[in-house]
Amino acid sequence: MKITLLSGKTFDIDMQLGCDLKVVQSKRSRRLTLRIDKKDRMAILTVPPYCSRQQAISFVESHQNWILNNINKIPASRKFENEDVISLFGKQYSIQHTQIRGNTKLDKEQHILYISGGIEFLHRRVKDFIKKVSQQEFLQRSQQMAQKIGKKVHNVYIKDTKSRWASCSTLNNLNYSWRLALAPEHVIRYIVAHEVAHLKHQDHSAYFWELVKFLDADASKGREWLAKNGHMLYIYQ
């Protein structure tokens, strides 16, 4: 098994665990701890100061079953496939491959996402289409919500990030993960409210959270959903 330090340095541990492990060395930590990164399907070991390599190895060995059981509970990643049913901005659509070139489109009445081109490129084309639609949708939603607090959104960019769902720059540019388009409607509203609120408060103070609640009364539900189910949005790679 390979242990990877956040510095990029790696070393191998022959424990036959069957998965990679990420190690975080923390000066504040007082003991060895383990947690599961559901996005990367990987265990993360936090190591306190003055902890020997052997202590770390023994600790992981004693928790092998716990690690494997929790990782096996996480759905495996997959690709978009023909006839998959996906949620797109709160509405269900069936992916249907079409041989007609240039016929990639969203039929909102029939709830069908038509994807043209070679079937071998379907996954990439679905992703590209979602990113394109997301840029337009998040821009419109962000601008409309920003008007409520007298702010303007300069632009919206769609990213493929893992560390955060969205972000706000000092230039009033908002960044959103394309995977958010697959989330339930109330989750999308919360994320937009969160980032728009940052146009006024570049922190997470009480004033910030009050503004988020003003913009979206059900913000807490969206936040809770992401905390519990956010990793499910990473099924499609």
Task: For 35-62, write each residue's pLDDT tens digit.
Answer: 888 778 888 888 888 887 788 888 888 8
* CA–CA distances in Å: residue 88 to residues 4, 126, 190: 36, 11, 16
80 domain-assigned = no
* CA–CA distances in Å: residue 173 to residues 24, 90, 146, 164, 177: 32, 24, 12, 15, 14
Token pair 């958010």: residue = 180
Please check whether residues 22 and 102 belong to one and the same domain. Answer: no
Q: Compare 19 and 147 and report the one with higher pLDDT.
A: 147
Please check whether residues 103 and 182 belong to one and the same domain. Answer: yes
180 domain-assigned = yes
Please check whether residues 97 and 61 belong to one and the same domain. Answer: no
**Reduced to 3 states, what is the DSSP secondary structure of residue 143?**
helix
Report the alpha-carbon distance of residue 226 to residue 233 in Å, rounded.
Answer: 9
Q: Compare 157 and 71 and report the one with higher pLDDT.
A: 157
Neighbours of 112 (CB within 10 A): 15
192 domain-assigned = yes
Please check whether residues 152 and 67 belong to one and the same domain. Answer: no
The whole-model pTM stands at 0.79
Task: Taking the CA atoms of 56, 62, 67 and 70 in sequence, report the sign of the dihedral they define.
Answer: negative
Please check whether residues 129 and 189 belong to one and the same domain. Answer: yes
CATH code of residue 125: 3.30.2010.10
Report the alpha-carbon distance of residue 87 to residue 107 in Å, rounded.
Answer: 14
Please check whether residues 188 and 224 belong to one and the same domain. Answer: yes
Please check whether residues 108 and 174 belong to one and the same domain. Answer: yes
Q: State the total domains in the chain.
A: 2
Please check whether residues 31 and 112 belong to one and the same domain. Answer: no
19 band by pLDDT with thresholds 50, 70 and 90: low
77 domain-assigned = no
Q: Do residues 177 and 192 lie in contact, with contact meaning Cβ atoms separated by under 8 Å? A: no
Please check whether residues 189 and 130 belong to one and the same domain. Answer: yes
pLDDT at 10: 46
pLDDT at 54: 81
pLDDT at 23 exceeding the cut of 90: no
pLDDT at 102 exceeding the cut of 80: no
pLDDT at 82: 97
137 band by pLDDT with thresholds 50, 70 and 90: very high
pLDDT at 73 exceeding the cut of 90: no
Q: Compare 69 and 52 and report the one with higher pLDDT.
A: 69
Please check whether residues 95 and 23 belong to one and the same domain. Answer: no
Say what percent of the chain tops pLDDT 70. 92
Please check whether residues 131 and 223 belong to one and the same domain. Answer: yes
* CA–CA distances in Å: residue 51 to residues 10, 32, 59, 67, 159: 17, 8, 11, 21, 38
Report the alpha-carbon distance of residue 203 to residue 201 in Å, rounded.
Answer: 5
Report the alpha-carbon distance of residue 91 to residue 130 in Å, rounded.
Answer: 13
- Summarize pLDDT for 190-218 with one digit per residue, the tens: 999 999 999 999 999 999 999 999 999 99
pLDDT at 195: 98
- Nearest partner of 1 among 71, 95, 50, judged by Cα: 71
Which of 14, 49, 72 is the last residue in one of the domains? 72
Tokens describing residue 93:
């659509």
Q: Which domain holds residue 27?
A: 2-72
17 band by pLDDT with thresholds 50, 70 and 90: very low
Which of 29, 48, 72 is the last residue in one of the domains? 72
pLDDT at 49: 82
Please check whether residues 114 and 33 belong to one and the same domain. Answer: no
Report the alpha-carbon distance of residue 147 to residue 46 in Å, rounded.
Answer: 44
Q: Do residues 237 and 77 lie in contact, with contact meaning Cβ atoms separated by under 8 Å? A: yes
2 band by pLDDT with thresholds 50, 70 and 90: low
Tokens describing residue 51:
């902890």
145 domain-assigned = yes
Average pLDDT over residues 176-187: 97
Report the alpha-carbon distance of residue 52 to residue 33 in Å, rounded.
Answer: 14
79 domain-assigned = no
